[in-house]
Amino acid sequence: MLAMPMALFELSAGERRAAPAGQEIREHGLAWRHDVRPTPFKGEARHFPKRCEYLYMTSSSRIGRLAWPTLLLAALALPAAASAQSGDHVTLGASAGVVPDYQGSDDSRFLPIPVIDAQFGQFFVSLRNGIGVNVIEIGPLTAGASVALVGGYRRRDVPDGIRRVSTTAGGRLFANLKLDNLSFTVGATKAVEGGTRGVVADASLSYALPVSDRMTVIPTIGTSWANGKHMNRYFGIDASEAIASGLPFYRAESGFKDVSGLITASYRLDSHWSLGTTGGVTRLLGDAADSPLNERRWQPSGFMSVAYTF
């Protein structure tokens, strides 16, 4: 490798991903110089720090909570609940499932989760859309706004040296179009404080297929997109984390981050009680899939639930 003179730059996002050897980089109060090596992942060649040298650093701590498994199960469960309910209602229950520790984790855990889905006029409460109001209700189209969760991961779930990402509240806009048994939903959530402080947009398409008077099967496909701020905070590795963890520096940029396929079976015991089971798989895409934090691109999940509708 040819020697290059030391230089000091404030780099753009693209330049930080492939900085030349010997160059000093500043980011968020941290400066370092590094050699480079090609990424082992397939596709476009990228370069990451191989050896970092501290020059100075200032940082702030983040408070993280587990939310990714909770939000994943909510996204899996609620299409079935929504297809079965109309008008004012309150559905409460409990569920338990096996989910990844975080997006990209090779480890899974058993997790109990409450089931809640309620609507009073234009107001609603649910795990997927949070607490909000339906602003537009025109025929098959419903659109609204809410306060919802934006998930993160715990420090103990990721490699040593990686800071946790806190769970935070976010403002969400969404729209749902229901045509007979077909349901199409789009939405976007912006974290307002803490966490990634980014934007995550999602879209899903489901079809309710009645098997009998009591049983309904609902296949669903979905995908999500995130802006650079969310992608880099969740899947990226900054210089201080690279030094502490031994993983390469990585900057993730905006793009589609995953696609999912799942199937839900709901069985109505009587006019109030129902049982449900959901199984599916999520595949990470783009910069999320190429992240050094990603241990598994294909991630299966599943859960079972029991609920009571008043």
Predicted pLDDT of residue 57: 29
pLDDT digits (tens, 9 = 90+) for 191-248: 887 778 899 999 999 999 999 999 999 999 999 999 999 999 999 999 999 999 999 9
Predicted pLDDT of residue 41: 39
Let me know if residue 61 belongs to a domain.
Answer: no
Let me know if residue 60 belongs to a domain.
Answer: no
Mean predicted lDDT score pLDDT of the chain? 78
Q: Collect the ranges in the chain with pLDDT lower than 70.
A: 1-86
Predicted pLDDT of residue 72: 53
Number of domains comprising the chain: 2
pLDDT digits (tens, 9 = 90+) for 273-301: 999 999 999 999 999 999 999 998 899 98
Query: Mind spelling out the 3-state secondary structure of 212-223?
Result: CCCEEEEEEEEE
Identify the three-state secondary structure at position 67: coil
* Residue 119 domain boundaries: 68-309
* Residue closest to 224 by CA, chosen among 101, 106, 107, 75: 75
One domain, residues 222 and 275: yes
Element of type H or E holding 112 = strand 108-120
Predicted pLDDT of residue 179: 94
180 Rama class: left (phi>0) / alpha (psi -120 to 50) / beta = left
N-term to C-term CA, the chain: 71
One domain, residues 129 and 47: no
The CATH number linked to 123 is: 2.40.160.40
One domain, residues 96 and 21: no
One domain, residues 127 and 260: yes
One domain, residues 152 and 278: yes
One domain, residues 149 and 225: yes
Predicted pLDDT of residue 19: 45
Q: Which amino acid is at 90?
A: V
One domain, residues 45 and 73: no
Predicted pLDDT of residue 268: 94
One domain, residues 33 and 108: no
One domain, residues 73 and 205: yes
* Residue closest to 240 by CA, chosen among 65, 105, 49: 49
